[in-house]
Amino acid sequence: MKCRVCNNHIEPFISFGDMPIANGFLLEKEFKDEYFFELATAFCEKCFTVQLVTQPDPNLMFHDNYAFFSKTSKSMQSHFKEFANWIIANYLKNKDPFIIELGSNDGILLENFLNNKIRHLGVEPSANVAKVAIDNGINTEVAFFDNNFANQALLKNGKADAILAANVMCHIPDLNEIAKASKKILKDDGVLIFEDPYLGDMIKKISYDQIYDEHVYIFSAISVKNIFAYHGFELIDTLPQETHGGSMRYVLCKKGSRNVSENVSNLIKKEKNLGLDKLSTYKQFKVDCELSKVKIKSLLKKLKNEGKKIVGYGATSKSTTILNYCKIGPELIDFISDTTPIKQNKYTPGMHIPVKPYEYFIKYNPQIAVLFAWNHRKEIENKEKLFIKNGGKFISHIS
């Protein structure tokens, strides 16, 4: 296959086998028509980008029934408030600034700009999540951000001071189009700021569940620098984040328009030490994933044989990769509790474990909870003090 960014020939370094849509929670009557594709990842030795080999049609993933609502977690809400304040303090110094957010979901980030009376536009392809934002007064258009959209938005609103994206850039297959459209719509001193799950964390933690249909890319500073350099952008800052099990915030601008922070060269040095620029690192990652799979599966089997009541906590998108790669189904996990109404009383994609409202977790009194929302571990352990006090254990493939 060809690299999506630079057209170089690339080969997959890992396949997770047949995978359903990560957020495709479904009813029993839909089992027979469930869609599967091969989830495999490749590394480009020219632009150093880690990417999916094939991705399902975006319309299968981002539609009117999209199951991911950002506002489900308190810690994410405070993260986005801090993110907005940081942008305002550092990058919105022009008079009457205007910002655009790609994939603005339910408005979790933009509401902070609305509260500060800052001109904003959210671009969100999934109508149901966009509606939540619109109902809260956030200026949102149901669309994919592309060249056409940029042209229209430019006519309507003029140039932007900042383009923002949180856990969205890694979802977009054609980054060259995004870079071109962003260049067109940004002011000369405008910035492109985005954060996404970080490749360095994924390799260190063996958190292979970051890989699923929506995440076309798992970025590093080395890859982001290269991808956007092809379009005249410069990576000027990088800031590690705790969200989503380890993320990185990237700040880019038109080359030469702003100073470059030392953070960038320091991070790139670290990435080279970790081997993020070498294929051998990804070959080792594959071996690590196989070991991780054997470990979690045998632990669950052992606990089940001991007669333990096992449930899952958080029917995350990431859990679809774990469950289908490790072939863990309802014979090992009785149900997964989740606070998102649209997922409840459906089944998990592929392995068909029932998803139940949070109250089931409390009533069922399990001994073991597989923490699929491991990226929210602190918040959840705080909330579930009673479960832990009564001898309940959270387990996860992430140690």
What is the binding site for ligand TMP (CB under 6 A)? 72-73, 314-317, 338-340, 373, 375-376, 379-380, 383
| Phi and psi angles of residue 370, each rounded to the nearest 5 degrees, phi first | -80, 120
Which three-class secondary structure state does DSSP give residue 394?
strand
Sheet holding 37-43, edge to edge: 12-19, 37-43, 50-52, 217-218
Among the listed residues 278, 52, 279, 66, the one whose alpha carbon sits nearest the alpha carbon of residue 170 = 52
Among the listed residues 146, 173, 169, the one whose alpha carbon sits nearest the alpha carbon of residue 249 = 169
Q: Calculate the CA 15 to chain-centre distance.
A: 19
Q: Which does 6 bind (CB under 5 to 8 A by kind): ligand TMP, Zn ion, none?
A: Zn ion
Q: Which does 47 bind (CB under 5 to 8 A by kind): Zn ion, ligand TMP, none?
A: Zn ion
Q: Cα separation of 394 and 384, whole Å? A: 10
Q: Which is nearer to ligand TMP, 317 or 324 (CB)?
A: 317
Q: Which is nearer to ligand TMP, 71 or 183 (CB)?
A: 71
| Phi and psi angles of residue 139, each rounded to the nearest 5 degrees, phi first | -70, 110
Q: Which is nearer to ligand TMP, 12 or 197 (CB)?
A: 197
In angstroms, give the least distance from the CB of 93 to ligand TMP: 32
The residue assigned the tokens 């594959």 is 286
Q: Which does 302 bind (CB under 5 to 8 A by kind): ligand TMP, Zn ion, none?
A: none
Residue 87 Cα distances to 114, 188, 251, 260, 309, angstroms: 14, 17, 10, 17, 46
Q: Which does 105 bind (CB under 5 to 8 A by kind): Zn ion, ligand TMP, none?
A: none
Q: Which does 23 bind (CB under 5 to 8 A by kind): Zn ion, ligand TMP, none?
A: none
In angstroms, give the least distance from the CB of 223 to Zn ion: 8
Q: Cα separation of 213 and 55, whole Å? A: 6
In angstroms, give the least distance from the CB of 317 to ligand TMP: 5
Q: Which is nearer to ligand TMP, 72 or 220 (CB)?
A: 72
Q: Which does 141 bind (CB under 5 to 8 A by kind): Zn ion, ligand TMP, none?
A: none
Q: Which is nearer to Zn ion, 121 or 221 (CB)?
A: 221
Enumerate residues 9-48 that contact Zn ion by CB under 5 A: 44, 46-47
Which three-class secondary structure state does DSSP give residue 164?
strand
Q: Does 229 bind Zn ion (CB under 5 A)?
A: no
In angstroms, give the least distance from the CB of 379 to ligand TMP: 5
Point out which residues bind Zn ion (CB under 5 A): 3, 5-6, 8, 44, 46-47
